[in-house]
């Protein structure tokens, strides 16, 4: 495997950054997780646009054009023969000193890893996943905007630890008002009385690329989509539920905190969305040529 770092490719064992990089020292940076399906980098342009927005959100100047990052990403897939897989694209504040100030980091670092990923067992996609609500609350949007996909993932990691300690693969996070925010690494959707419901970014939900793709699919299916503050009660009483994410794709959820959701099996709307999503991913993006 070869890893791209600042214009060069290095063997995996030699791919290194400075211990003074502020991405390592302070989590000061941004990233994107991007899927590849049959030589198609799914929604690459949308991911790079979000990367630019995240950079602006943390006052990080990107010295590369979108096309330059896109070409480096395509090259990483070519070199690693990734035709179906996952790309982790990272931009750190760069090397600095032991102070917090970003002014001491003159040049950001760009890292691109093209590899494979598998988050959940295959049976979760056919029989559904069970969730638990964890004590850790979502960081308030006023403290860190959820639109920024930053390297500071400790909030999510603490939630994941709590889920694993109780025997669950995934969990639900509430915000400080008690409303549903998202899962530890994915967005959440509910189906209730013919509508698709999902928390807004103001509740602490990331504006996910797969989330937006599902909203577009729902519109095409003439299924009304509503962004609304949701509670655990709403999840308990939903007809269906599923989570979405670039790595996870679309995973049906059949139980929360011991309460069965709907029939207790993946529902028809979830199946429709997953079918439509898998039809889109092989052509809605940038081909590796």
Catalytic residues: 149
Nearest to 30 by CA among 109, 119, 99: 109
Tokens of 275: 């079918």
Helix (H) or strand (E) holding 55: helix 44-57
Which residues have C-beta within 8 Å of that of residue 173, sequence separation ≥ 6?
Answer: 133, 134, 136, 137, 138, 159, 180, 181, 182, 183, 184, 204
For β-strands 225-227 and 195-198, DSSP reports them as: parallel
Cβ atoms < 10 Å from Cβ of 156: 19
Cβ atoms < 10 Å from Cβ of 203: 21
Helix (H) or strand (E) holding 216: helix 209-220
CA distance 243 to 90: 24
CA distance 102 to 249: 35
Could you tell me the CA-to-CA distances from 205 to 201, 243, 245 in Å, in that order? 4, 12, 12
CA distance 81 to 178: 45
CA distance 60 to 107: 10
CA distance 127 to 130: 10
């Amino acid at each position: 495997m070869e890893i791209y770092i600042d214009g060069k490719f290095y063997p995996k064992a030699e791919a290194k950054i400075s211990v003074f990089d502020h991405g390592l020292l302070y989590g000061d940076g941004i990233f994107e997780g991007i899927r590849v399906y049959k030589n198609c980098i799914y929604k690459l342009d949308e991911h790079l646009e979000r990367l630019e927005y995240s950079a602006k959100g943390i006052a990080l100047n990107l010295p590369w054009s979108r096309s330059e990052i896109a070409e480096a990403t395509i090259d990483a897939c070519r070199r690693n023969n990734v035709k179906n897989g996952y790309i982790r694209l990272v931009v750190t504040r760069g090397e600095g000193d032991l102070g917090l100030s970003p002014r001491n980091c003159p040049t950001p670092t760009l890292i691109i890893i093209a590899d494979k990923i598998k988050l959940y067992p295959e049976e979760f996609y056919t029989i559904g996943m069970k969730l638990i609500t964890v004590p850790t609350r979502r960081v308030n949007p006023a403290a860190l905007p959820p639109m920024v996909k930053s390297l500071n993932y400790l909030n999510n990691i603490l939630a994941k630890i709590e889920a694993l300690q109780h025997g669950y693969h995934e969990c639900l996070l509430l915000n400080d008002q008690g409303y549903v925010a998202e899962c530890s690494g994915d967005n959440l959707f509910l189906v209730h009385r013919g509508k698709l419901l999902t928390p807004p970014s103001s509740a602490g939900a990331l504006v996910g690329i797969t989330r937006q793709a599902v909203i577009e699919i729902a519109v095409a299916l003439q299924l009304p989509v509503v962004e609304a503050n949701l509670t655990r009660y709403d999840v308990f009483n939903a007809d269906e539920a599923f989570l979405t994410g670039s790595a996870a794709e679309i995973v049906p959820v059949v139980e929360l905190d011991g309460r069965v959701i709907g029939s207790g099996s993946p529902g028809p709307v979830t199946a429709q969305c997953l079918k439509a999503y898998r039809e889109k991913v092989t052509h809605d993006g940038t081909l590796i040529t």
